[in-house]
Amino acid sequence: MSVADEEPALLGLAPVAPDRTVAYGPHPDQLVDVYAPRAGDGGRAAVRGPLVVLLHGGFWRAAYDRRHLSPLAAELAGQGMPVALAEYRRVGAGGGAPQTFEDVTAAIGAAHAELARTVADPAVVLVGHSAGGHLALLAAARPGTPVTRVLAVSPVADLARAHELGLSDGAVAELLGAGPGLPERLAAADPARHPPAGVPVTILHGTDDPDVPVELSRRYAARNPGTTDLRELPGVGHYAPVTPGSPSCHTLVGCLS
């Protein structure tokens, strides 16, 4: 699969319906979709992996929702993992800072409460793609989080550098709000400046990613070498790691197994 083919390959997959959906607030986007572990024949399976909370990307904008990661959620459930695919308020639909950040924290709490009933060890692995990787890294640094590990995939891991580069036509400024106080808001929301204490981080990032340059993950790993394992995927772009059936998605699953 070429880098140019990655986005249509992912977005061309049919959404997979969850087993149930849990609301964690009154807004229509304050939802968590739950995917129960599945056996090869489609029936329920014993839990063989961690509790996974999955955060989608889309540069924090309302135009992109969780449905494009539902095939990945189903794939992980098929590997024996209970999965919660979280939605949150986004820019253009009631989101932005701080609402987006508050929703992610609340969604993790709701997912943890919902999934912890299925296993003896309710530790949470937080998996985030693109802007969801940024949100995952930031959420894991909050005090009292149930997150024990982060897998950030093609993440916006260095928010200051993403703003300098003007990624996606100024998406960082849209998220945080332009104008006075932006430098302070940027510093507070930058995971490169606030690594999760005691929580190991694995980063998967394609070397040919045209949307979120691998440079951002390299900068994060250089600033936080003790707890960060950066795994670069040669020749891979932005979407293949979260597209079931691709070799780099097999790598992602292997990181969780």
Mean per-residue pLDDT, 207-211: 98
Looking at residue 13, its amino acid is: L
Assess whether the previous peptide bond of 210 is cis (omega < 30° from 0).
no
136 within 8 A of 150, measured Cβ to Cβ: yes
Looking at residue 63, its amino acid is: A
Domain boundary assignment for the chain: 3-256
Mean per-residue pLDDT, 226-255: 96
Among 122-131, 191-200, 244-253, name the most confident range: 244-253
62 within 8 A of 87, measured Cβ to Cβ: no
Per-residue pLDDT tens for 141-168? 999 899 999 999 999 999 999 999 999 9
CA dihedral in degrees (8, 151, 211, 97; nearest 10)?
Answer: 110
* Confidence at residue 140, expressed as pLDDT on a 0 to 100 scale: 95
* Confidence at residue 109, expressed as pLDDT on a 0 to 100 scale: 94
pLDDT score of 47 more than 80: no
* Confidence at residue 185, expressed as pLDDT on a 0 to 100 scale: 95
**How far is the first Cα of the chain from the last one, in angstroms, to the nearest whole number?**
25
* Confidence at residue 54, expressed as pLDDT on a 0 to 100 scale: 98
* Confidence at residue 137, expressed as pLDDT on a 0 to 100 scale: 97
Confidence of residue 197 (pLDDT cuts 50, 70, 90): confident
- Mean pLDDT of the chain, nearest integer: 93
Q: Read off the DSSP letter of residue 126.
A: E
pLDDT score of 203 more than 80: yes
Report which secondary-structure segment, H or E, holds 31: strand 31-35
Alpha helices in the chain (DSSP H): 3-11, 70-78, 99-115, 131-140, 159-165, 167-176, 182-188, 214-223, 247-256
Mean per-residue pLDDT, 53-80: 96
* Confidence at residue 59, expressed as pLDDT on a 0 to 100 scale: 97
Pairwise pLDDT comparison (178 vs 204), residue with the higher score: 204
Superfamily of domain 3-256 in the CATH hierarchy: Alpha/Beta hydrolase fold, catalytic domain (3.40.50.1820)
pLDDT score of 9 more than 70: yes
* Confidence at residue 45, expressed as pLDDT on a 0 to 100 scale: 56
Q: Read off the DSSP letter of residue 61.
A: B
pLDDT score of 32 more than 60: yes
Per-residue pLDDT tens for 102-148? 999 999 999 999 888 777 666 899 999 999 999 999 999 999 899 99
pLDDT score of 60 more than 70: yes
